[in-house]
Structures are given as structure tokens and as C-alpha cells.
Structure 1
Amino acid sequence: MKALTKTDFHFEGQKNVYHGKVRDVYDINDDVIVMVATDRISAFDVILPKGIPFKGQVLNQIAAKFLDATTDICPNWKLATPDPMVTVGLKCEGFRVEMIIRSILTGSAWRAYKEGCRELCGVKLPEGMKENQRFPEPIITPTTKADEGHDLNISKEEIIAQGIVSAEDYAVMEDYTRRIFQRGQEMAAQRGLILVDTKYEFGKRDGKVYLIDEIHTPDSSRYFYADGYEEKFEKGLPQKQLSKEFVRQWLIEHDFMNEPGQTMPEITDEYAESVSERYIELYEHITGEKFDKTVEEGDIAARIEKNVADYLATRK
């Protein structure tokens, strides 16, 4: 099984390229960006040493589906998906904030709560909550985009006071966040899933706020299976979930949380394939469509380069 873990394309009009943890972003004429979802995988803010076959395709195709399904709520950056692993979209000036919205106390929020935290990003948390319990209503817990390392929790008030985002733009982002999340939850429910939490990124172009980047993928979101959720919660059992959390849990079990002195465990081919299968499982659950593996036959990078070049030629 093949995985695309790095790219080095040279498209016509290319100004620069940014290699992120998972995505490689090519700037074309300071107007559009070509975002390649690679098969890299990251956890605890570190890129794992082995790629996950089909992961980029899963992320890109799920994100495209949800971007298309939310255009009535807010404008987004997507123009086209010329390749299963690529989205081309409008270049926006990104806000240095990630809007994280949570409907259930789990993951890092639960780990903090268990340690005694009762306020998260300026949001007061009720006493006596249990792991995987629903909040009375979804809470927004933003983070600031760090140049490197961990993103930092921050409150709405601090974001506005520090001038990271204006009060007007933040109000728009907050409104969009709640409405897109509600749409995502409705779509997940139709597939027997619960959209537990997710993150959104926004940018600005010509004075207008746009939704940018991916949405509702297993890298940016957590899904539980609806069937059995209540019973498992009442019994204090772990929820069956579709998200990247299972990778984090595997790393924790192997004594790795990217802390000083810790060593990354070996990622075997068998483990990489099992992660790939979990990503495909989520794709098929959330989209209701059969996943097409045939696109990874042949030279992946050459296919992407041709598909993107052909698309960009149509924009001239």
C-alpha cells in the first residue's frame, strides 16, 4: 500500500508553498491556493514517521462534501476538487484563531476537567460532570494558532482584547461556528453518528469572512456511534468512536505524548493499514458512499500534478 507523505510541485503561477503537518498549500498568483491533503498523520503536534494510505483522499473528500453542504450558511473558500486529494480555493487572510466547538465532555477537555479544571477558555463548566456527558448546549473553546508546537487555549474576551480578531469578526465566526456545527450534527445523525466536537478555521477576503480549510473530517472532528451511546455513558464504558483519538490513545498506551524524553513507538505497516481502515470506515459511515480505492493506483504525485495543472489551465 502506498502513501503520499511529501510533495514538491511546481505549478504555473506558483508563488510559494507551505508544508503543514498534514497539508501542503501552494499559493497560485496570490489569488487561489492548491491544498494537497497528504497521507501524513500527526498527533500531539508531531508528524508520525509513517504515512497512512488513503488518508489524504478520505480527508479531502469528506471536507469537500461538508463544504458543499454548508454554503447556504456561510461562504467558504472551495472552488473545485480537481483530484481526490486536492482542493483548490480562494486565498484568504486566515485569522490566527481556531474555533473549537464541543457538545460532549471528552478528550482533552475531559482530561483537564478530571484534573480539577472548571473553566475552559473563559467558559465555566458545571460541577459533577462525567466523561462523555453532553453539555447543556455546545460550548466554544477557541485556541490561538501557534507558530510551532501546541496551539494555546484562549478566551473570547482575550482574543478581542489582544486585537487578534475584532469583536465584529468574532461575532460572525461564532455565529457561523454554531450553525455549521448544528448542520454537521444533523448530517451525522442521519448516518447513526454523533458529531461530538470539531474545529473550524476562518479567513477574510475582500472584507468578507470565509470558512477555510477542512471541516468535519476525522482529523478535525470526533464522532461517536449514536447506537449504544446512552448505555455506555450510564455504565461508564468507553464510547465507540470514529476519530483520530484512537491514534492518540495508542500513542498514550505506548508512553508517548510528545513530552521530553519520550520516544515515538514504531509504526508498523500493519498498524498503518489498520489506521487506514478506520479512516475509510468513517468515510463510508459519514458519507453513506463506498470508498473508491482505485485512484491510488499508479504514481500518486504525477496524477495530482496533471489534474491540478489541467484545472489551473481552465482558469486562465
Structure 2
Amino acid sequence: MHRYRTTTRSVTRDDIIKQIPYALKETHLEDMGIGKRFQGKVRDNYTSDKRRIMIATDRLSCFDVVVAAIPFKGETLNRTTLFWFDQTKDIIQNHILDSPHPNVLIAKNCKPLPVEVIVRGYLAGSAFRDYSAGKSISGVKLPAGLKEFQRLDEPIVTPSTKADSGEHDLPISEEEIIREGLVPKKRWEEIRETALELYKKGVEIARKHGLILADTKYEFGLDGDKTILIDEIHTMDSSRYWIANTYNDLIAQGKPPEMLDKEPTRRWLIEQGYMGEGEIPEFTEDHIACIALHYISSYELITGETFSPSFDNNIEQSIRDSLSAVLKDVV
């Protein structure tokens, strides 16, 4: 089914199907006194003056719309982002303080900058769709004759606005960011250089694991006057990963590369006539299981670690228990 990668070291299809009723769709922890709740596309955030508690739910978002709940997805994203924050802490400080539960990050409450910074080393996804329609990509003009999935001569930075839940992110040029005062020129230049350095590091580590990091998204925030890395980094939701050793042959055959991200689901939705508007197509149990196994397999390949799931029939309660143990440190 749409070339999902379903080979994992630890979980079976039947395991996933049994867990579907317990997928974490949302949380309601306001009574714990951990701050005001804000629901993003995938994460539930609880914010106090100094701390932000980020809970990675199992919501699957495509085209800026939540389309399904996938067991273990939140846990794989959380573990992947922890792996990458550790790998890139020598490049830029990040906002992570603690992770008391597989689905939870405790972070500094920084002021998010109102743009997402996308770095692309290959022509894929919305960038290829815009390119095919003759449009620039966030103000970047690419040469004629490029093909889908083709490697670019140099990585490009293609920012977008940061939309609220249920709304679409919109491309924006670097010139517009500065002209509209979204980010001051000097800070933007610092962010741009850092994003390219982060991408370079991601590409190097992915290559060692037999992968291509085709493109990825970064978010930055302010801790006082200091720029730091926030949200997530190099996860299967924020990035495109492809298998390296089959890439050339598949491209030569006119086929897409083997993907470790949510692009197979995006492509399935497009085939159903869905691109963020109208009724969401139905996801069968088998399809949900394939997507879950795909996320778990991707996590294992990206990090080199074996996924050890917690078969939990009340994830919100286990989150409550974990947070209660550290509550005094996070409010």
C-alpha cells in the first residue's frame, strides 16, 4: 500500500490494530495547573511563564489538516526529535529541558518567530508542484528542466508563514520576511546560516544510516534576545527521508524513491482527490497499521535505535503520572 515501509524489529501489524482504540488523539490536563492549553496540528501545548509542556499526540496532519490518529506516532516523533536535538546541540542551543514520558517534552517557553524555515536539497512535494506550475518557491527561481525528486545543485531556503491549526502555511520570500518586519535582517541572516548548517549535519548523519534527508523544516524562537531552536527537528513529519541505495535506480525508472516520511500518505490522499479541502477519506484499520509500522520502521532507520513501545491503554493517565513526578520543576 503506497510503498509504506513496514519492517520493524519490535512491533507487528496485530499489535498496532489492538492499539488503535487507545491512540492519543488529544489531552486535557488543564486541571494539573501546568498552564494554558493550546492545540497545534500534532502537539498539545501547556504553557506557563517559563515552561512549555509539549505532548506529541498520535494525530496525523496532512495539508495542515488532521486526517487520522496513528498508534505510536507521537512516541516515534518525540524520540526522533530528542535524538536530533542531541546531535545538533553543538550548532545551536535548543529549548529542551526534560522528557519525563515517551510522548512529552518539557521546554523553555520561548517566543516563537512567525516563520518556518524550510531547507530543500531536492525538488519534491509542494516545491515540485509549484515549480511545475511555473511558480517561484518562496521567491526562489529554479532553472528550467528539473525533474521531480532531482537533487539541487545547492540547498535552498524556502520559508513559509506559520499558520494556526486548521489553516494553511503560505510561502513567503526572504525579502518579504524582512520588509514586513517579521524577523529583523540581521537575525534572519543568522537563522538562515544556522538552518543550512543544521541541514548539512542532518544530511551527513542520514547518509551514515543509508538515508537521504531530502528536505526539512526548522522553527526558531527567542529566549530573551537569544535565538534558539524550538519545536521539532528532522522528524518524519517535518522532513522527507528517502532510502539512499535504491534512489538512483528508482529515479532512472521514473519511480519515486522509497520514503520514510508521511509523503506516501499525502500521495494516497491526493489520489483520493483530497488536498486539505472537503471530506477526509476514510482510513481502514489495515491502512492505519501500515502507517504506524512505517513510522516505527522510519524511527529505527533514522536513529539506529530499536523502538520499544509502551502498550498503554490510557496514555493520558500515564502522562499525568509522569508529569506529577516533576510538576514542581515545570510550573
Short-chain TM bin: over 0.9
Q: Secondary structure at the match of 2:299?
A: helix
Cα distance in 2 for residues equivalent to 1:75 and 1:85: 21
Cα distance in 2 for residues equivalent to 1:205 and 1:142: 21
Cα distance in 1 for residues equivalent to 2:32 and 2:61: 30
Which stretches of structure 1, 4 residues or more, deviate above 4 A after TM superposition? none
1:281 is matched with which residue? Answer: 297
Residues 182-210 of structure 1: CA distance to partner in whole angstroms, max 9, x if unpaired? 11111111110000001000000111001
Alpha-carbon RMSD: 1.4
> In structure 2, what residue type is equivalent to 1:134?
R
Is 1:157 the counterpart of 2:157? The answer is no
Residues 281-312 of structure 1: CA distance to partner in whole angstroms, max 9, x if unpaired? 1001011111111x232421111111112123
Q: Is the 8 A contact 2:44 2:56 kept in 1?
A: yes
Deviation of 1:16 (Å): 0.5
Q: In the superposition, relative to structure 1, how do residues 203 and 146 fare at CA in structure 2: closer, same or farther (>3 Å)?
A: same
Give 2:204's match in structure 1, choosing from 186, 200, 206: 186
Q: Secondary structure at the match of 1:270?
A: helix
Give 1:227's match in structure 2, choosing from 242, 245, 251: 245
Q: Is the 8 A contact 2:106 2:330 kept in 1?
A: no
> In structure 1, what residue type is equivalent to 2:218?
Y
Cα distance in 2 for residues equivalent to 1:133 and 1:205: 38
> In structure 2, what residue type is equivalent to 1:37?
A
Query: 5 Å matches for 1:189-200?
Result: 189-200=207-218
Give 2:326's match in structure 1, choosing from 308, 311, 314: 311
Is 1:141 the counterpart of 2:161? The answer is no
Deviation of 1:11 (Å): 6.1
> In structure 2, what residue type is equivalent to 1:290?
T
Residues 213-234 of structure 1: CA distance to partner in whole angstroms, max 9, x if unpaired? 0111111000010012122223
Cα distance in 2 for residues equivalent to 1:258 and 1:90: 32
Q: In the superposition, relative to structure 1, how do residues 200 and 224 fare at CA in structure 2: closer, same or farther (>3 Å)?
A: same
Identity level (%): 43
Query: 5 Å matches for 1:164-313?
Result: 164-259=182-277, 262-293=278-309, 295-313=310-328
Is 1:131 the counterpart of 2:148? The answer is yes
Q: In the superposition, relative to structure 1, how do residues 263 and 287 fare at CA in structure 2: closer, same or farther (>3 Å)?
A: same
Higher relative contact order (CA 8 A, sep 6+): 2
**What number of residue pairs does the alignment pair up?**
310
Q: Secondary structure at the match of 2:205?
A: helix
Cα distance in 2 for residues equivalent to 1:82 and 1:228: 38
Deviates more, 1:97-106 or 1:245-254: 245-254
Residues 137-172 of structure 1: CA distance to partner in whole angstroms, max 9, x if unpaired? 100000011335111111111100000000111111
Is 1:120 the counterpart of 2:117? The answer is no
User: Which segments of 5 or more consecutive residues in structure 2 lack a partner in the other structure?
Assistant: 1-18
Deviation of 1:10 (Å): 3.1
2:39 is matched with which residue? Answer: 19
Q: Is the 8 A contact 1:11 1:309 kept in 2?
A: no
TM-score (norm 1): 0.95
